[in-house]
């Protein structure tokens, strides 16, 4: 009789160990996916900031009177650390209403913003295909988030410093 009393807790302990292992596996999986999501979000924010900075710096150069080739060089310089270049999954649109000028470069077509641009201002829109941006795409493996057919687009407008 003493033996049966001692065997019941041993069986419960063995069953409990199996439950603890399964709970640990589930918790680790959720924590791993959460960690990957945080890392992916950080990379996306970093790429968005770089594209935004490229649009602002390119617009400033255009406001100083730079031609479109010089603007492309500035944008490429800013995006170089992220391995993005205009013409390889990225494009830009430069607008100058005073000079009746609108030109685009790159293999991604940037739609012009809906807002009307006043005389004396220049506007630069930088577009990068999300499939070309250096994203980790770890969440795509879990079927959670996909960047197919998505695009980063940033627009900056500055006042022209010199008359056109």
DSSP string, 116-140: PPPTTEEEEEEEEETTTS----HHH
DSSP 3-23: HHHHHHHHHHHHHHHHHHHHH
Q: Flag residues of the chain having pLDDT under 50.
A: 1
Which pLDDT score, from 0 to 100, does residue 134 have? 75
In the prediction, which pLDDT does 102 show?
85
DSSP state at residue 107: S
Q: What is the pLDDT of residue 132?
A: 77
63-75 residue pLDDT tens: 998 889 999 999 9
Supply the DSSP symbol for 81.
G
- If we measure between CA atoms, which residue out of 73, 11, 84 comes closest to residue 47? 84
For residue 140, give every residue at least 6 positions away whose Cβ sits within 8 Å of its Cβ, in sequence order, or none: 146, 147
pLDDT at 115: 85
Q: What is the pTM of this model?
A: 0.79
Separation of alpha carbons 81 and 33, rounded Å: 27
With tokens 């500035």, the residue in question is 74
- The runs of H, that is alpha helices, within the chain are 2-63, 68-79, 138-141
Q: What is the pLDDT of residue 70?
A: 93
């Amino acid at each position: 009789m003493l033996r049966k009393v001692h065997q019941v807790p041993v069986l419960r302990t063995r069953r409990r160990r199996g439950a603890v292992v399964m709970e640990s596996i589930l918790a680790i999986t959720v924590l791993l996916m959460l960690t990957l999501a945080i890392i992916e979000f950080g990379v996306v924010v970093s790429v968005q900031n770089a594209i935004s900075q490229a649009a602002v710096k390119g617009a400033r150069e255009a406001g100083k009177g730079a031609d479109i080739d010089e603007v492309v060089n500035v944008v490429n310089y800013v995006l170089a650390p992220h391995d993005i270049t205009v013409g390889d999954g990225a494009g830009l649109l430069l607008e100058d209403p005073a000079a009746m000028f609108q030109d685009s470069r790159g293999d991604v077509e940037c739609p012009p913003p809906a807002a009307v641009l006043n005389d004396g201002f220049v506007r630069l829109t930088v577009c990068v295909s999300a499939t070309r941006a250096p994203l980790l795409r770890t969440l795509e493996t879990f079927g959670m988030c996909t960047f197919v057919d998505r695009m980063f687009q940033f627009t900056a407008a500055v006042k022209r410093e010199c008359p056109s």
